[in-house]
Amino acid sequence: MKLLGSLDSADRRLLLWCVGIGLTLAIVTGVLMPQNDNSNPLPSSYLAGQHGALAAYETLLRSGYDVQRWERPLGELAERAGPDTVVIFAEPFTREASAIRAIRTILDRGGRVLATGFWGGMILPRGASLAPDAFDFSACELQPEGLDALAGSGQVWMRPEAAWKVGNPAQRVDYSCGGQPAVVEYRWGKGQVVWWASSTPLENGALARAHDLDLFLNSLGPRAGHHFYWDESLHGDVRSAFSYAAGPSLTMLDFGLPLLGILVVLSFSRRSGPLRELPAPTRATPVEFLEALGALYGKSGAASTAVAIAWERFQHHALRLCGLKSTRAGAAELASAIRRRFAAADAALETDLAACEEAAWSEKLNPREALGLIQKLHDHGEKLDAALKSGGKSAESFHSYSKKDERAS
């Protein structure tokens, strides 16, 4: 309450709205999120309920099996299949011809397939599974049949949900329930097929019962040198290359592209009239700029600043004409250098330069006097430029002479 009391009404209202929206989203997410309870009969390797198969999948991982979930089309798995491939189909649900062809290709290449339930028998080559109503049993203890290694797995419990049509000598029954086949195996091409009447032995609620885990491991075959795939593609949506573009991004495109088209149409309609260039911005003339600059100097009482700027500019220009590298020189030194370079310089050069140097640091300089000194510096600069142009040859010889002295020094 102290926190809410310390906030103003607008911030308090915003905070309450944010808290309310967050609680609403949490409640809606909890209600709509699929529950992983015992009512889900799917033996998926993702589910931890009674009928899920997460325990069996993690058991394979911890036992050192090279196992992974497969969620892409079965045709891609068939392309890479070989004698080291083992695929688990726990209660698949499909009748697609492409999936059946892929399973047959896996077997032709020497792979091993474990399928459970009625639909698991339907996708197998020479599958002879019968409708689920052929069985009317609860969980029963399976009876071993024959001398195959799979039949020696031990005591196994299963709740059969399908039957198998007997009569093919190539198909061997390893376990039965009430006289009906419950575990069948046979060869197809270079591969091996194992069928269960249901997925009960590999479910979380029955994996630790009796020798159900032994039956599961014996049905998969040897661990060394084999790669195991737990198929999840026949339990729901099949993942493909286009699946990664689906979801929120595809929804945004569904709504964004029409909106973008509307904006393009509206922007074109607004630009359908005649286009005119914007008028050029008005710029002040040079005279107006000079007047504004002079008014600024006059208002601040900085007449000496104007003289200092003109004096520094004249120094650089004169030293450059005299061929000196120094960037600063006093009035006397500068006048002496100019006399040596330009013998016919103005007679008042020394006096004017001394007055400009002194005025550059004066705080009580009259603007009229400052203007006069700046004009004198301007006149001296023009005279030096004119003298340099009239005596071009002598200037060239002077420059070459000074360069030779510089090299010698």
Q: What is the pLDDT of residues 377-398, one digit of tens each?
A: 888 888 888 888 886 434 443 3
Superfamily of domain 54-238: Class I glutamine amidotransferase (GATase) domain (3.40.50.880)
Report the pLDDT value the prediction gives residue 273, as an integer from 0 to 100: 55
Average pLDDT of the chain is 80
In this prediction, residue 406 has a pLDDT band, given cuts at 50, 70 and 90, of very low
Q: What is the pLDDT of residues 302-356, one digit of tens each?
A: 778 888 888 888 888 888 888 887 667 888 888 888 888 887 788 888 888 888 8
Q: Does the pLDDT of residue 134 top 50, yes or no? A: no
Average confidence (pLDDT) over 100-106: 93
- What separation in angstroms does the CA of 282 have from each of 276, 278, 279, 285? 18, 12, 9, 9
Q: What is the pLDDT of residues 159-189, one digit of tens each?
A: 988 888 888 888 999 999 888 899 999 999 8
The CB density around residue 314, as the number of other CB atoms within 10 Å, is 21
Helix (H, G, I), strand (E, B) or coil at 158: strand
Q: What would the DSSP string read from start to end of 25-54?
A: HHHHHHHHSPP-STT-----TT--STT--H
Instruction: Tell me the domain boundaries of the chain.
Output: 54-238, 286-403
Is the Cβ–Cβ distance between 190 and 106 less than 8 Å?
A: no
Query: How far apart (Å, rounded) are the C-alpha atoms in residues 141 and 71?
Result: 33
Helix (H, G, I), strand (E, B) or coil at 85: strand
Q: Which residues of 175-199 are buried (b: 16+ CB within 10 A; e: fewer)?
A: bbbeebbbbbbbebeebbbbbbbbb
In this prediction, residue 62 has a pLDDT band, given cuts at 50, 70 and 90, of very high
The CB density around residue 46, as the number of other CB atoms within 10 Å, is 15
Q: Do the strands 157-158 and 163-164 form a parallel or antiparallel pair, or are they unpaired? A: unpaired
The most confident of the ranges 1-10, 24-33, 168-177, 365-374 is 168-177
The CB density around residue 139, as the number of other CB atoms within 10 Å, is 13
* Orientation of helix 303-321 relative to helix 331-341, angle to 10°: 40
